[in-house]
Amino acid sequence: MNRFAIGVDIGGTATKFGIIADDGKIIRRLARDTGRDMGGFLGVLNDGICTLFDFAEDRGYNISHIGIASPGAVNIETGIILGSCPNIPFLTDVNLKAIVSCRDIKIFADNDANAACWAETVVGVGKGFENILYITIGTGVGGGIVINGKLYHGSNYGAAEIGHIIIHPGGRKCGCGNYGCMERYASVPGMIMSAKHILARRRSGKLWKIIDGDFSKLTPKLITREFNNGDIVAMEIIDKQAEALAQGVAGAINLLNPQLLIIGGAISESGRKYIKRLSKAITEKTFPASNVKLKIRRAKLGGKAGIVGAAMLGWTVAN
């Protein structure tokens, strides 16, 4: 018989909610605007959770716990976000286990990339692998690490912040305060910034014709579409993003020697051609013994990984 939990994935723009079965099946999901301040967010959070509880009670689903995934380093014991929360500053130092008021129930919390990594490990493309490096590309570049079948959090819950590996010393300023972090080049905003520079210099190709000089029209979907269509400028943009990502990821692979590298997030959804291009860049930069058995795969769960992984946090502890 299945067990059921509620998973919450907090994002800078939207917060996602879902009733999740222990086999990863999503029974019901919904999303709400996250809001711009703590008061608004608390209303959104508790409204979403209460809506799902009402749905579950009406249909006989017994909810065992709530799992919450958030940006930032999260103390999984206390639920406190340690320091700043990227893109959601009002959550800085907030205790995620103490902000649910609509139900008295056990709550688990972790970093959002860790939750997505765990979902891919248990019911996604990582099923059957014991040692995994997970990368997600979005507003930033996040990561998750599985060692011997268990999530690795580090000594103070700050492991796998792979986006803050410095690849260009003295380069673009990052929100963390450093300069030249990988995510300033390999994230979606980083890729868009590079695209603007490349297009302004080249002023050619189908991508340039489509945007007609209006850089506000640039989106990851448009760039990856034209990359797959063979546009030479879009290919240069993706090449630059893939090289930036490979520089940071290669070091992590040399350190961890995982069996599997999972690539998730918006850019990875462009398909096999991108994964092939990225795989080539990574292979060229890693120590031979570290990559000879390495498999590189695109994430399976997409935007659902956060809520699925968040819900599974409680069962992981129980097991």
Domain of 207, CATH number, reads 3.30.420.40
- DSSP letters of 81-134? B-S--TT-GGGTT-BGGGS--S----EEEEEHHHHHHHHHHHHSTTTT-SSEEE
**Are 134 and 146 in the same domain?**
yes
**Are 288 and 313 in the same domain?**
no
Average the pLDDT over 187-215 and give the result: 95
pLDDT at 200 over 90: yes
**Are 94 and 143 in the same domain?**
no
**Are 141 and 266 in the same domain?**
yes
**Are 138 and 247 in the same domain?**
yes
List the domain range (segments joined by +) for residue 185: 128-299
**Are 132 and 115 in the same domain?**
no
Average the pLDDT over 52-62 and give the result: 96
**Are 136 and 192 in the same domain?**
yes
**Are 192 and 179 in the same domain?**
yes
From residue 99, give the alpha-carbon distance in Å to each of 5, 45, 116, 215: 17, 8, 22, 40
pLDDT at 247 over 90: yes
pLDDT at 1 over 90: no
Split into its structural domains, the chain has a count of: 2
**Are 61 and 83 in the same domain?**
yes
**Are 9 and 69 in the same domain?**
yes
Average the pLDDT over 177-194 and give the result: 95
**Are 107 and 141 in the same domain?**
no
CB 137 within 8 Å of CB 189? no
**Are 173 and 229 in the same domain?**
yes
pLDDT at 38 over 80: yes
Those residues with Cβ within 8 angstroms of residue 214's Cβ, 6 or more apart along the chain or in another chain? none
What is the reported pTM? 0.93
Element at 50 (helix H, strand E): helix 38-59
